Structure 1
Amino acid sequence: MSTVFRLDSSIRGEGSVTRAVADTLESALVADLDGAAVLRREIGLTPLDAAAWGLSAFAGYVPEDQRSPEQVKAMALATELADELVAAEAYVFAVPFYNFGVSQHVKAWVDLLMTEPRFAPGTQSIAGRPAFLVIARGGGYGAGTPREGWDHATAWLTRVFSDIWGLDLQIIESELTLADVNPAMAELRELAATNLEEAHNAAHKHGKRLAVVLSAA
């Protein structure tokens, strides 16, 4: 049985674009891959304790019998997060773009994982495995737009998932997701709808292809 790890980090339940696009990928995969299991980690609606990173990081410098209960708990959480990733053959990271960067929820998750020996910089415990970053941005940040260069999330996430952890990463992007609710973006609504449709189409195709890859593994 193949296991796919899915991370959801949107602070929205209903109406989340990253959740919806990730659902499309997951549905296509499960439809074509018998016995596929999806291991889920929700950090948007159920955030990790932001203090856990520091506790786990410094616990490594303290003799085991002298660690505080809080340090022991934080290290156990880091191990749990690492076990989830190691147990999977493929990954879906659904990550919204907040305030021009990576949300605190995702940063806390990555920081805590990097205190675990299997995911410290320089180690590649899951290198080569397929992964998909589903990212949604409320505005437009492409070349020639007023906010070109303001996306401080995608490159950082790519650095972590691809360069540090060594995953075979594909990115599924959706922009202008706030067009329907922002009157100032009304003229962009048709473009936004097309962009979203393309993201779902890409997710569907990736899910189908991933099923083939995992079936052959």
Structure 2
Amino acid sequence: MPTLLHVDTSVFPGEASASRSVTATFRKEWEAQHPNGTVIYRDLAAEPLPHLDGLAAAAGFAAPDQRSPEQEAAFALRETLASELEQADVVLIGAPMYNFTIPSTLKAWLDHVIIMGRTAGAEQTTTSGTPAIVVASRGGGYGPGTPRESFEFVTNYLGKALGDGLGLDVTFVVPELTLARSNPAMADLVELSDASKAKAHEDVTTHAKALAARFAA
């Protein structure tokens, strides 16, 4: 049965988080199609990872039989996280925009799983071609032609890190204007916000069904 790696990063719980709400819709549809499948879940807000340190970083560049005991111990978490990514048939990531970029917890995860010569830095990596659905929610509007287009460092960064770096086949789903109902200054954008949210849920449902069918037993 297929394996889904689901990573959430929003600091807000449940329905209070636009990204969590949409990733939950994808996962619900995926599990409906694969009730006996495996889901590996990482909530990086509830259980944040330590930042990559020098020992763990150096260990990633050393052959396993050349690592010191200290490097081997430091590399253990990277091994676990990279293995989770490598065994995934589909990757689902909630990546809300915080201060124009990704949550620091997601950056920490990336620093651990990007291992040169294994998951990255090779023509064919151990994660090449794995489909990844990234829910990149944002409180305002940062699309092409908007005044803040140049402030968008979520999809452009993750497209490079996940796509060019890890070799994943990345699809972005972008619910935006998510602050419209809580910010009086955005009151005239509520309708657009609701439409964007609805489309995001529809899109991930479509993607979940398509990917579930691809990995049908």
Deviation of residue 37 (structure 1)? 1.6
2 CA distance for matches of 1:194 and 1:22? 17
Deviation of residue 91 (structure 1)? 0.8
Q: Are 2:31 and 1:16 aligned?
A: no
Q: Is the 8 A contact 1:13 1:45 kept in 2?
A: no
Q: Are 2:109 and 1:109 aligned?
A: yes
Q: Is the 8 A contact 2:3 2:40 kept in 1?
A: yes
The residue type paired with residue 107 of structure 1 is K
Q: Is the 8 A contact 1:56 1:115 kept in 2?
A: no
What RMSD in Å do the two structures reach over aligned CA positions?
1.8
Find the counterpart in structure 2 of residue 175 from structure 1.
176
Deviation of residue 60 (structure 1)? 5.1
Give CA-to-partner distance per residue, 1:144-188, whole Å, 9 cap, x none: 322121101111101121112222221111100111111111110
> Which has the higher mean CA deviation after the structures are superposed, 155-164 or 28-37?
28-37
The residue type paired with residue 170 of structure 1 is T
Give matches, 1:7-86, under 5 Å.
7-14=7-14, 15-50=16-51, 52-59=52-59, 64-65=67-68, 67-68=69-70, 71-86=71-86
Find the counterpart in structure 1 of residue 147 from structure 2.
146
Normalising by structure 2, we get a TM-score of 0.90
Deviation of residue 116 (structure 1)? 6.5
Deviation of residue 78 (structure 1)? 0.3
What is the identity percentage for the equivalent residue pairs of Structure 1 and Structure 2? 37
The residue type paired with residue 169 of structure 1 is V
1 CA distance for matches of 2:49 and 2:203? 30
1 CA distance for matches of 2:89 and 2:53? 26
1 CA distance for matches of 2:35 and 2:98? 36
Normalising by structure 1, we get a TM-score of 0.90
How many residues align structurally?
212
Give CA-to-partner distance per residue, 1:9-32, whole Å, 9 cap, x none: 111113111111011111111112
2 CA distance for matches of 1:74 and 1:109? 15
Gap change, CA 1:184 and 1:119, over 3 Å in 2: same
SS in 2 for 1:39: strand
SS in 1 for 2:174: strand
Gap change, CA 1:37 and 1:143, over 3 Å in 2: same
Q: Is the 8 A contact 2:136 2:154 kept in 1?
A: no
Find the counterpart in structure 2 of residue 184 from structure 1.
185
